Amino acid sequence: MLGQLTRSPASLAGLRSSTQLVARLSQSSRPVRLHRAITSAVSQADQEATAASTAAAVQQQQQSSSPDGTGTQQQAQQRKVGAAGPRTSSKEMVDTSPPRGTRDFYPEDMRLRNWLFGEWAAVAQLFGFEQFDVPVLESEELFVRKAGEEITDQLYNFQDKGGRRVALRPEITPSLARLVLGKGKGLALPAKWWIVGQCWRYERMTRGRRREHYQWNMDIVGVPGVEAEAELLAAITTFFSRVGISAADVGIKVSSRKVLAAVLERYSVPPENFAQVCVIVDKLEKLPRDKVEAELAALGVSADATEGILSALSCRSLDQLGELLGPAGHDALGDLRQLWALAAGYGFQEWLVFDASVVRGLAYYTGVVFEGFDRAGQLRAICGGGRYDKLLGTFGGEDVPCAGFGFGDAVIVELLKDKQLLPALTQQVDDVIMVMDESLRPAACGIAARLRAAGRRVDVILEAKKMKWAFKHAERSGAARLLLVGGGEWERGAVAVKDLASREQTEVPMDQLA
């Protein structure tokens, strides 16, 4: 496909800037009518984009594909690629961007990701959870639900060469359910599992949304009581505290779908419509109220019931909820009061905010639901979760009580950045070794081997370089020492060791080197 631009429009699909496009078209070996080619290539690239103009589409792609949401680095790279084009005359340059809406992690980005994932892992371990993993590609049937959730409408799905319908997972919970079903009675309950995995959605690209993100999940399988939800919320707040976020920065809205269930029962809405009603009322923050009312009406929910639902959702205190629901609310209220009591025990009650309007957009929740939010109100939900006691049943298995949460890597990084809580992370190297005389290179390799065996992280300079370069390089890599192999020191059976903090140089005999 390389070098055959006009024959492979698909290879144009990732083009990001008109500069780059023109650079590539101008390398084509066949004459093309430039204007038409640009138009068709851009239309190919953006056929599902909502943007009206090409320029807007290009700009939004640049913003949404950046690793950290700022787009600066990615845009700089784009320009570089465009500029590099004309230098290489014989071959068409491949698209150096990752697939539309996805991210690359250069080492400087990866350090931050490793730090975040490391904090997530540390919390999961403090809570005695066990890690699991599943393939990022699953059978499509795991994610096909009919409640109209955004997450299943945006399935990143394909047909494979064997004719099977497969999908890059949009979420991890269905795979966890599959594993629990797969073990059957062989799984010791309760199971407390965690995972960090990449999730995908195929949606129209809009500002600031990507097609993949990483998600931390913790799930408790086999515990019917809100003790599970309390433990999960303790894990979330422990994470926040570890990274420097306080209850003044972030709150967690908590409610229970049992509130809605009680209202629906009172108005004789059939239970099989429960999930769909939840998905619809979850849109209250995004859609105008009359739109939500219309969707409920279309589902056959009476105006009375809609009024009851919306009134229940406006509750902001447990006592008010108790009055509203009467005996039908006994279950929901009991759960929530117990949850608050446990939160006080753990010491995280100040994070919790009772808010009956929290429903969450996933069809499978059945009980307590919760959602982390920034109190400044600038960001989308930080994390969310709840109880899903019926998911295994919808997969044809026996129901097992489950609760869990998902915590994405995007919003938390925005929040940490806003609050200047992102750590300054540098490369982690202890020693840099520089060979002063190439005949001594094997000896220098031996020194590196010895230091590494002692646990030191050693970067060997693998070419003949100038001393000035070596110093710069050692400082940039955050090394503590620069070791120089050669010169007078070597003749005396020693190595010159430069301490990069104090800038002092000492001569260390080979047998004392550590």
SS3 call for 220 = strand
State the binding string over 312-351 for its own copies (x if CB under 8 A, else -): -----------------------------xx-xxxx----
CB of residue 105 vs its own copies: minimum separation in angstroms? 4
Give 188 or 501: the residue with its C-beta nearer to its own copies.
Answer: 188
Flag whether 499 is marked binding. Answer: no
Give 192 or 498: the residue with its C-beta nearer to its own copies.
Answer: 192
CB under 8 A: which stretch of 28-36, 231-239, 288-296, 490-498 binds its own copies? 231-239
Q: Whose CA is closest to 206, among 51, 320, 393, 97?
A: 51
Q: Does 110 bind its own copies (CB under 8 A)?
A: yes
Q: Which two tokens stand for residue 283?
A: 């849109």
Q: Which two tokens stand for residue 151?
A: 């997450």
CB of residue 129 vs its own copies: minimum separation in angstroms? 8
* Dist. CA 153–CA 282, nearest whole Å: 15
Residue 323 · residue 334 · CB < 8 Å? no
CB of residue 34 vs its own copies: minimum separation in angstroms? 19
Q: Whose CA is closest to 68, among 30, 40, 28, 110?
A: 110
# chain residues binding its own copies, by CB under 8 A: 131
CB of residue 100 vs its own copies: minimum separation in angstroms? 7
- The footprint of its own copies on residues 444-463 (CB under 8 A) is 444-446, 448-449, 452, 455-460, 462-463
Flag whether 388 is marked binding. Answer: no
Q: Whose CA is closest to 61, among 48, 110, 86, 167?
A: 48
CB of residue 311 vs its own copies: minimum separation in angstroms? 32
- The footprint of its own copies on residues 45-74 (CB under 8 A) is 45, 47-48
- The footprint of its own copies on residues 349-368 (CB under 8 A) is none
- Pick the binder of its own copies from 196, 228, 301, 324 (CB under 8 A): 228
* Dist. CA 197–CA 244, nearest whole Å: 24
Give 153 or 304: the residue with its C-beta nearer to its own copies.
Answer: 153
Give 265 or 430: the residue with its C-beta nearer to its own copies.
Answer: 430
Q: Does 425 bind its own copies (CB under 8 A)?
A: no
- Pick the binder of its own copies from 231, 282, 409, 414 (CB under 8 A): 231
CB under 8 A: which stretch of 230-238, 277-285, 370-378, 416-424 binds its own copies? 230-238
Residue 210 · residue 410 · CB < 8 Å? yes
CB of residue 426 vs its own copies: minimum separation in angstroms? 11
Exposed / middle / buried, residue 503 (Cβ in 10 Å: 0-12, 13-18, 19+)? exposed
Q: Whose CA is closest to 92, among 186, 11, 192?
A: 11
Q: Does 115 bind its own copies (CB under 8 A)?
A: no
Other beta carbons within 10 angstroms of residue 377's beta carbon come to 6
**Kind plus residue range of the DSSP H or E element containing 352:** strand 352-354
Look at phi and psi of residue 368 and say left if phi exceeds 0, alpha if psi is from -120 to 50, else beta: beta
CB of residue 233 vs its own copies: minimum separation in angstroms? 11
For the beta sheet containing 137-139, the strands, ordered from the edge strand earlier in sequence to the opposite edge, are 137-139, 165-168, 156-159
- The footprint of its own copies on residues 135-164 (CB under 8 A) is 135-142, 144, 156, 158-164
Residue that the structure tokens 């938390």 belong to: 412
Q: Whose CA is closest to 483, among 418, 429, 410?
A: 429
Residue 157 · residue 140 · CB < 8 Å? yes
Exposed / middle / buried, residue 348 (Cβ in 10 Å: 0-12, 13-18, 19+)? buried
- The footprint of its own copies on residues 369-388 (CB under 8 A) is none
ω into 224 cis (within 30 of 0): no
Q: Which two tokens stand for residue 396?
A: 């044809």
- The footprint of its own copies on residues 71-90 (CB under 8 A) is 76-77, 80-81, 83-85, 87-88
Q: Whose CA is closest to 434, among 414, 463, 405?
A: 463
- Pick the binder of its own copies from 55, 94, 298, 303 (CB under 8 A): 94
CB of residue 194 vs its own copies: minimum separation in angstroms? 9
CB of residue 371 vs its own copies: minimum separation in angstroms? 22
Q: Does 307 bind its own copies (CB under 8 A)?
A: no
- Pick the binder of its own copies from 36, 396, 424, 502 (CB under 8 A): 396
- Pick the binder of its own copies from 14, 148, 322, 487 (CB under 8 A): 14
State the binding string over 175-194 for its own copies (x if CB under 8 A, else -): ---xx-xxxxxx-x-x-xx-
* Dist. CA 321–CA 328, nearest whole Å: 11
Flag whether 44 is marked binding. Answer: no
Kindly state the DSSP code that residue 92 receives in the 8-state scheme: P
CB under 8 A: which stretch of 53-61, 314-322, 356-364, 421-429 binds its own copies? 421-429
* Dist. CA 217–CA 277, nearest whole Å: 25
Pairing assessment for the beta strands 494-499 and 505-509 based on DSSP bridges:
antiparallel
CB of residue 481 vs its own copies: minimum separation in angstroms? 12
CB of residue 437 vs its own copies: minimum separation in angstroms? 13
Flag whether 364 is marked binding. Answer: yes
* Dist. CA 3–CA 10, nearest whole Å: 13
Q: Does 511 bind its own copies (CB under 8 A)?
A: no
**Long-range Cβ contact pairs of 378-382 (< 8 A, separation 24 or more):** 378/418, 379/411, 379/414, 379/415, 380/411, 381/411, 382/250, 382/407, 382/408, 382/411, 382/412, 382/415
Flag whether 215 is marked binding. Answer: yes
As annotated, the binding site for L-histidine includes 171-173, 201, 215, 219, 360, 364-365
As annotated, the binding site includes 171-173, 201, 215, 219, 360, 364-365
